[in-house]
Amino acid sequence: MAPNVTALAAVLWDMDGTLLDSEKLWDIAVRELGRELGGEVTDEIRHALVGSAGPAAMQIIYTGLGLDPSPAEDAAARAFLETRVAELMTGPIPWRPGAKDALAMVREAGLSSALVTNTKRSLAEYGLDTLGRDFFDTSVCGDEVPQGKPHPAIYLRAAELLGVDPQHCVAIEDSPTGAQAAAAAGCAVLVVPCEIPVPAGPGRVFRDSLIGLTHADLQQIRHDIR
């Protein structure tokens, strides 16, 4: 019997670094936060932050800077970072190459689509202003699940909201954290690295960019991994 390559039901999209070139905006805000805290966010710290959820990200910063903040200091640092990122994300955010055409292709193919981001809802809404909400049937943010990426909960929730089996989904990610979460949820994963390298692993197919991505490519990715 021929392999079933038609069972692809949905595409689950990461946002920062995958659809939008917004990691560079986070880089500005995180490095400013480091100086605000009296230290310097090194490239090593910054790279460890890529794809991390809010609570884990803040702990990475504190550990990297050798800090043990009080609850009040932690709240102030989180508020500083959120305010600064919101300022930077107000207005159009640069797209990653090929991303807008890829979103349109998935819509035209009749596939379900979800935005799945570790970014908290209040900030993800700025990204949706640029992306366009019509491209997505639903969205799930890092503050809407018990644990963000690399835990699979956020991808499992997205599939649940779409009413599809995660094994019938392709997730598109740019970070090790995101790729780990999507694969653990049972999705086939298309990795398009942005800021940092992503290691090879089970359930992962790599591509240099989203330019020229087709429905047939997505079907083939799911088939090859399954």
0.95 exceeded by pTM: no
The hierarchical CATH code for the domain 10-21+94-225 is 3.40.50.1000
Give the whole-number percent of the chain exceeding pLDDT 70.
Answer: 96
- Residues 148-174 have pLDDT tens digits of 999 999 999 999 999 999 999 999 999
Residue bearing the bigger pLDDT, 164 or 226: 164
**117 has pLDDT over 90:** yes
Q: What residue ranges do the domains of the chain occupy?
A: 10-21+94-225, 23-89
As a whole number of angstroms, the distance between CA 77 and CA 33 comes to 7
**43 has pLDDT over 50:** yes
User: What confidence score (pLDDT) does residue 26 get?
Assistant: 86
One-letter-per-residue 3-state SS of the chain: CCCCCCCCCEEEECCECCCECCHHHHHHHHHHHHHHCCCCCCHHHHHHHCCCCHHHHHHHHHHHHCCCCCHHHHHHHHHHHHHHHHHHHCCCCCECCCHHHHHHHHHHCCCEEEEEECCCHHHHHHHHHHHCHHHCCEEEEHHHCCCCCCCCHHHHHHHHHHCCCHHHEEEEECCHHHHHHHHHHCCEEEECCCCCCCCCCCCEEECCCCCCCCHHHHHHHHHHHC
**3 has pLDDT over 60:** no
- Residues 164-217 have pLDDT tens digits of 999 999 999 999 999 999 999 999 999 999 988 999 999 999 999 999 999 999
Mean pLDDT of 89-118: 95
**69 has pLDDT over 60:** yes
**222 has pLDDT over 70:** yes
User: What confidence score (pLDDT) does residue 92 get?
Assistant: 81
Name the pLDDT band for 4 (thresholds 50, 70, 90). Answer: very low
